[in-house]
Amino acid sequence: MSRVEYHEIECKTALNRVHHMPFKWSVNPYVGCTHSCHYCYARAYYAKAEHGNADRDFETRILVKTNIADVLRTELARPRWMGEQVALGTATDCYQPIEGKYRLTRRALEVLLAHRNPVGLVTKSPLVLRDRDLLAALAHVATVRVFFTITTLDPTLWRQVESGTAPPHQRLRALHALSEAGVPTGVLLAPILPGLTDSEEQIAAVAAAAAASGAVSFGAGVLRLAPFVKEHYLGWLSEHYPDLLRRYERAYSGAYAPREYLARLDARVERVRARYGVGAASSEQRQAPGPLDRSGQPVSPKHGRQLSLAL
C-alpha cells in the first residue's frame, strides 16, 4: 500500500454552496480520501481542482483544513446566515482515519451544536460513534440525520471496490448504536453498481440489515461515471470484472445510466422498501453526483441515446 501524505492547509471558507442537490450547503474538512473507493465521484472534484490525479493522488495526498472550525464559526455568526441544513461528508468522508488525530469534524459539530444548526452527515466509518454525544445533543434541538453508505454486504466485493473502508457489519453496528442514542439514522446503498450490486436479492440484503439495525430510511443511488471517475472505475473493472467492461462501455456513453435501466431499478428498490418498511432517504438521488460544470459543481443530466445494460 502506498504511503499517505497529509498536507495542512488553511481554508478561506468553510461553507460550500452546492447546486442540484437536496441540500444547499456542505462542509468538508478534508480533500482526498484514503477510503479508496473506486467508484467515488469526489475523484472528479479532486482532479478538476488540480490537487492531483484522480487515481493514486486522490487516495494518498490528503489536504487537511486545519482552521475549518474557526472559519465555520465566523460564517454561522453572520446575520445573513439563515440556519439552513449543512451537509458533512459530501465530497470525501469526514470520518476517514486521519479524523482520529485532527478531530476537525468533531470541532465542526461543536460549532454547529452551538448554533443549533441542522446537520446531515454521510460516512462509511464507525469513528462517527466517538461523536455520538454531540450528535445526540444536536438531535434534541435541530434536525439531524446520519447516513451510512453500504454498497454491498459481500465481503469479497467490499474488499475489491472500497478497500480502505471499515467492513459493512461494523458500520451497521455503529448505526445501531447511534439509533439507540437517539440519533436518526439511515442507510444509503450508493452507488448501486450495475451488474455487481443491482439484483433484487442484493438490494434486499442491505435493506434488511439496515432495518434490523434501526435505520429509519433506506436510499439508493445508481453509479454515475463523470470524467476522471469513468476512466478510473473502468480501469478497475477491466482488472476485476472484465466480462462486464463492454456492457459498461455501451451503456455509459456519457455519465448516466440509461433511463430504462433506472426505471427497472427504481421498481426493485420500491419493492424492497415496502417489504422491509423503510422509507426513502430525504437526501436520496437517483444517481450519485455526476458531470461537473466549470466551477466543479454537478450539472443536471442531459440524456442522449438510451442503451440497455442488459443486466
pLDDT in tens, 262-285: 999 999 999 999 999 998 875 443
Q: Does residue 214 lie in a domain region?
A: yes
pLDDT at 22: 82
d(Cα 146, Cα 14) in Å, to the nearest integer?
Answer: 20
Alpha carbon separation from 180 to 142, 185, 298 (Å, rounded) = 18, 10, 35
Residues whose CB falls within 8 Å of the CB of residue 191, separated by 6 or more in sequence, listed in order: 39, 151, 221, 222, 223, 224, 287, 288
Q: Does residue 285 lie in a domain region?
A: no
* Torsional class of 121: left (φ above 0), alpha (ψ -120 to 50), beta (otherwise): beta
Q: Does residue 290 lie in a domain region?
A: no
Three-state secondary-structure class, residue 103: coil
Q: Does residue 284 lie in a domain region?
A: no
DSSP letter, residue 199: S
Give the mean pLDDT of the chain.
90
pLDDT at 2: 75
What's the structural domain count of the chain?
1
Q: What percent of the chain has pLDDT over 70?
A: 90
Residues whose CB falls within 8 Å of the CB of residue 54, separated by 6 or more in sequence, listed in order: 43, 44, 46, 47, 228, 229, 231, 232
Q: Does residue 198 lie in a domain region?
A: yes
Q: What is the DSSP string of 59-100?
A: HHEEEEETTHHHHHHHHHTSTT-----EEESSSS-TTSTTHH
Q: Does residue 249 lie in a domain region?
A: yes
Give me the domain span that covers residue 61: 5-276
Between 159-163, 178-182, 219-223, 304-308, the lowest mean confidence (pLDDT) is in: 304-308
Give the pLDDT band (50/70/90) at residue 1. low
Three-state secondary-structure class, residue 13: coil
Q: Does residue 228 lie in a domain region?
A: yes
Give the pLDDT band (50/70/90) at residue 297. very low
Burial class (CB in 10 A: 0-12, 13-18, 19+), 58: buried
- And the C-alpha cell for 270? 420500491
CB 99 within 8 A of CB 128: no
pLDDT at 309 over 70: no
d(Cα 93, Cα 123) in Å, to the nearest integer?
Answer: 6
- And the C-alpha cell for 258? 440509461
* Prediction pTM value: 0.89
Q: Does residue 306 lie in a domain region?
A: no
pLDDT at 220 over 60: yes
CB 124 within 8 A of CB 149: yes
Alpha carbon separation from 9 to 64, 66, 67, 77, 121 (Å, rounded) = 6, 6, 8, 23, 23
- And the C-alpha cell for 149? 453508505
Give the residue ranges of DSSP H helices in 185-292.
Answer: 200-212, 229-240, 242-251, 259-276
Facing residues of 145 across strands? 120
For residue 134, give the CATH number of its domain. Answer: 3.20.20.70
